[in-house]
Structure formats: C-alpha cells, structure tokens
Chain A
Amino acid sequence: MIEFQNVTKIYPNQNRAALENVDLTIEKGEFVFLVGPSGSGKSSFLRLALREEKPSTGRILVAGKDLARLPNYKVPHLRRRIGCVFQDFRLLSNKSVYQNVAFALEVIGKPRRFIKRVVPEVIDLVGLEGKHERMPNELSGGEQQRVAMARAFVNRPQILLADEPTGNIDPATSIGIMKVLDRINRTGTTVVMATHDAAIVDSMRKRVIELEYGKIVRDQVRGVYGQAY
C-alpha cells in the first residue's frame, strides 16, 4: 500500500538529510507505528506519502501510484484515498461537528444525499453520538480529535496517516482515540501512526518502525516503543 524505495529527502538549505535511504513496505490493512525522537523524520515520511513534498532521490509508491510520475492535477485524487489526522486537530471553529465532517465531502463534490447518509454513520463510529451540532470549542480535546478522525475517515480512504494524534491528549483519553483507530484499521484501512507515546505503542503490540536521524534503525512486527528508553 505504501512503498518507499531508497528514499532520501534533503530539504533546501539543509546539509543533513531528513530521511536517508529509507526502504520499506507497508501492506494493505497493516497498523504501523512510526516512532523516534523529534526531528527523526517521522513527519517528513508522512509528508512524502501525501506528496506534500517530493523525495530528493528514490521512489515512492502509494495506493499503487508512483508519486514521482503523478501529475500535479492528479494529486487531489491521491489525497482522497488518504485520510489525515494531526496533533492539533485542524477543525474549522465556525462549523459544527456535523459540518466539519461534511465539509470533507462537500469540497470533493459529493452529492448532498450521500453526505446526509454517510456523515452521521461516521460520527457514530468515532463515538460522538448525539453531538452532531456541537461546536469544536464545546468539545474536549479527545472529542475534537474524534471529529478529526471522522473527517479523515468519512470518505473511506485506503490509508489513514496520523501524526501524533494523541500528542495533545491525556493518557486516559488517548486509549479511546486508539480504540477508534483500531476500529478504523479493522475495516481494512491501512493505518500509519507517528507517535512519541511509549505506553500506547507497548499496549497495542503492532508493527513498529523506529527512525533516528532519518534512518530506519528498527522494524519489528510486534514491537514495543524501544528497549533503550
């Protein structure tokens, strides 16, 4: 589903590579943790997979598409197959829960009837039953992140990229977030989650890829956050 072949990414005006010779394959339906200290290249990895950046060298395949050969006008179609969740939720504060989720479908031109059917289902899936009309500032951090996950998942993407989704949330609430991610993963969606949260990684027992200074230092099928820490 996501394949990096010898990918190196050097940002302009930087001597050190953000990613160096990264070579990995993530299969369809996998749940993968991307761990490592800040600046180790986790976010660069996600940005490259989204084609927000292009690699300096190497090849990236996402959802069967070679990103280097993907013309600019097709990038939006790639992104429709990838859902994204961030540490800072990125909700629209002037829209309700329902409107925030529906927004993702409106802007890709889905018919209204489809939106009316699908959005409530997804809001219920992330555990926000009965909170459709709440505004983001009336919700807790955990609930806001659930809205963000509903928005990322509402178009049924093949891949869900999560960049430290529990970074702003207390450990107890994080468990709920992880349950939602797990539920999404069980529908067949590939989930890649970058995180610092050792407790979560250890409890999930999923594949762990550890990055350090842009290089993969560990890739375990049923890993924990790290022995060294």
Chain B
Amino acid sequence: MRSNFVFQEIWIGLRRNLTMTVALIVVVAISLSLLGTGLLFIKQVNSTRTYWQSKVEISVYMCTADSANTTCHGAYTQAQYAQINQTLHSMPQVQNVFFQTQDQAYTQFKQFFANDQAYVSTVKPNDIPASFEVKLKNPEADYNIVYSAVNGAAGVDLVVNEMTILDKFYKLLDGLRNAVVIVALILVVAAVLLVSNTIRLSAFNRRRETGIMRLVGASNLYIQMPFLLEGVIAGLFGWVLAAGLLIGVKSLLLNNLQQYFSYNVGLSTGDLVQVIVLAMCVGVLLCGVTSFVTLRRYLRV
C-alpha cells in the first residue's frame, strides 16, 4: 500500500468538505468531553463516598432528665446503659462502639460554639444527651438491622444515621452526573450520524475517483482506507480538543470543589489520564466503526 497516496487522498477529502469536517470535530470534541466529565464525576462521587463511608456512624442518643420524647421517663438508668451497650457489642455488624458521656458531649459542644458564649451559657450540661457512637462494618447494608435493634429501646431517645444526611448530597451529585452522561450520549448519537453523513458526502464527492479505482481493480481496502482514516483522523482531532476541555474541567471545576471540603476529595492526575485515554478509545472506535459501516453501504464492489 502506497502510504503517501492514501494520505494525499485523506487530505483532499478533509479539505473538500471542510465545514462538515469542522462540525464533526466540534461535535466529537463536545460529546467526548461531556462523556469524560461524566466519568470524572463518577470517580469523584465514588471517592467521596468511600471516604465518607469509612467515617459515618450511627448516633444513639440517650434520654436526658428532660427529654421531650414520650418513650423517655427521665434520664436513662445505669441498667439501660448496660443493656444497650451489651446489645451493640454483641451485634456482628458493629465495628466498634464509643460511649460519649454528657460531660464529654458538653465539652465538645462548648468547643464548637466557643465564639458564641451567650449560646453556650444558656445550655446546661444536662441538656446535652450522652450517646453511643456506633461504627458499622458496612453502613449501607447493616444500618436497618442496627437501627431496629436499638430504636425504641428503654432509655434511648433518638437514633440518627449520618448516612441519611449524606444521601441527600449524593442524590444531588448522582443527578448531576446522570444529566451529564445523558447529554453526552445524545451527543454521541449526533456524532455518529454526523460521521456517517460526512463520510457519505465525501464518498459522493469522490465517486468518480472511486468508480475508476474499482474499474482498474483497486482492492476494497485501498478504496475505503482514505475514507475510514478520514473519519478516524477527524475523531482524533475531536479527541485532542476534548482532552484539553477535560483538563480544564478538572483543574477549574473539580479542583475548586476541593475548597468546600476539609478532606481530600481531589482526583489524581492518573484518574484524569485514564478518562482521557478512554475518551480516545471511544472517539476512535466511534468514528472508525461508523465510517466502516457507512462505507459498507455506499461503496460496494
């Protein structure tokens, strides 16, 4: 195969329908970068989720002397404490249990609101409940089991699962991610149609050449290669743009998210590279396969 002949043909083809090629490159770039953004989001959400899941606890608040809850009859007793302590320790789902006394809780409370002395002074140590901070091995699956074991037990005021608070946050992130992925998929469909159209136009523009090539016995591969590579090269151009956009998304958007969190949620460069490489595979495959299928239909022997 004469490679410079093929490249000459590709160049002619790309230049001849320049507007279509530019449109194709832009659509491929946008769809790939949205797809990549979706993937980055998935990675981001997963990394925060893993981080949080190792941190979330169930808080079992014990009754205080003046709890409003009707199941409480004054402050919890020592027997009730022992009962619940024993229940929690005996459960296989529980990783560890930490009991925070009223005094400890009050000290912590004073620390949190150190800037607001007026607020601190109105709250008495007895108002702050003691609690079991229960850490679960698998918070998502085991929460209900542990919850029902201690909820409503004598001496227990309230059981709070931190997961439920986080869930709202995750729902938001998941929704955002799904929206990005759906838009990306719609654009991928648009890109497929555009590739198909561009190749068809290109094949139509050069039907005289291809007709003569067939006549003099050029192999199918030889006839189709310039068109196929035309699609793939446009896809590669689109991918390069998409890679730039993805780097932008990561450094401008996701890295700025970091400042709202006190812990490390940042994605590594490795994650970014992984997404960009994946975007390239998707882009090249998308354009290559679409071109190939189109050519099957429009450049028969």
Q: Give A residues with C-beta under 8 Å from B.
A: 50, 72-73, 75-82, 84, 90, 92, 103-104, 106-109, 112, 151-152, 155
Could you tell me the distance between the alpha carbons of A76 and B2 in the complex, rounded to whole angstroms?
A: 17
Find out whether the CB atom of A107 lies under 8 angstroms from the CB atom of B220.
no
Find out whether the CB atom of B301 lies under 8 angstroms from the CB atom of A75.
yes
**B209 CB-CB contact with A under 8 Å:** yes
- Which of B209, B211, B217, B220 gathers most chain A CB within 10 Å? B217
**B219 CB-CB contact with A under 8 Å:** yes
Closest chain-B Cβ to A156's Cβ sits at a distance in Å of 12
Cβ contacts B187-231/A at 8 Å (1 or 0 each): 000000000000000000000110111111111101100000000
Could you tell me the distance between the alpha carbons of A84 and B215 in the complex, rounded to whole angstroms?
A: 7
Q: Is the interface of A mostly helix, strand, loop or mixed?
A: helix
Find out whether the CB atom of A79 lies under 8 angstroms from the CB atom of B5.
no
Chain A's closest residue to B8 (CB) is: A106
Closest chain-A Cβ to B15's Cβ sits at a distance in Å of 13
**B145 CB-CB contact with A under 8 Å:** no
Interface size band for B: 10 to 19
Closest chain-B Cβ to A104's Cβ sits at a distance in Å of 4
**B1 CB-CB contact with A under 8 Å:** yes
Please pick, from A76, A77, A106, the residue contacting B5 in the complex, using a CB distance under 8 A: A106
Could you tell me the distance between the alpha carbons of A112 and B2 in the complex, rounded to whole angstroms?
A: 9
Chain A's closest residue to B300 (CB) is: A72
On whether A78 and B212 interact (CB within 8 A), knowing A106-B2, A106-B5, the answer reads no
Find out whether the CB atom of B2 lies under 8 angstroms from the CB atom of A104.
no
Find out whether the CB atom of B216 lies under 8 angstroms from the CB atom of A109.
no
On whether A79 and B209 interact (CB within 8 A), knowing A107-B222, A109-B2, A109-B222, the answer reads no
Closest chain-B Cβ to A113's Cβ sits at a distance in Å of 12
Chain A's closest residue to B12 (CB) is: A94
Could you tell me the distance between the alpha carbons of A81 and B215 in the complex, rounded to whole angstroms?
A: 10
Cβ of A50: which chain B residues have Cβ within 8 Å of it?
215
Cβ of B218: which chain A residues have Cβ within 8 Å of it?
76, 107-108
Closest chain-B Cβ to A95's Cβ sits at a distance in Å of 9
> Which B223-268 residues sit within 8 Å CB-CB of chain A?
223
Closest chain-B Cβ to A166's Cβ sits at a distance in Å of 19
Find out whether the CB atom of B208 lies under 8 angstroms from the CB atom of A77.
no
Find out whether the CB atom of B217 lies under 8 angstroms from the CB atom of A77.
yes
Cβ of B216: which chain A residues have Cβ within 8 Å of it?
79-80, 84, 103-104, 107-108, 151-152, 155
Could you tell me the distance between the alpha carbons of A90 and B211 in the complex, rounded to whole angstroms?
A: 9
Cβ of A82: which chain B residues have Cβ within 8 Å of it?
217
Cβ of A152: which chain B residues have Cβ within 8 Å of it?
216
Find out whether the CB atom of A104 lies under 8 angstroms from the CB atom of B212.
yes
Could you tell me the distance between the alpha carbons of A73 and B223 in the complex, rounded to whole angstroms?
A: 12
Cβ contacts B28-63/A at 8 Å (1 or 0 each): 000000000000000000000000000000000000
- Which of A76, A79, A84 gathers most chain B CB within 10 Å? A76
Could you tell me the distance between the alpha carbons of A198 and B217 in the complex, rounded to whole angstroms?
A: 32
- Give 6 nearest A-B pairs by CB, closest first: A80-B217, A79-B217, A107-B218, A104-B216, A76-B217, A76-B219
Find out whether the CB atom of B212 lies under 8 angstroms from the CB atom of A90.
yes
CB-defined A-B contacts under 8 Å, sample of 27: A50-B215, A72-B220, A72-B301, A75-B301, A76-B214, A76-B217, A76-B219, A77-B217, A78-B217, A79-B215, A80-B216, A80-B217, A81-B217, A84-B216, A90-B208, A90-B212, A92-B208, A103-B212, A104-B212, A107-B213, A107-B216, A108-B216, A108-B218, A108-B219, A109-B222, A112-B2, A151-B216
| 8 other A-B residue contacts (CB within 8 Å) besides A82-B217, A107-B5 | A76-B218, A79-B214, A90-B212, A92-B212, A104-B212, A108-B217, A151-B212, A152-B216
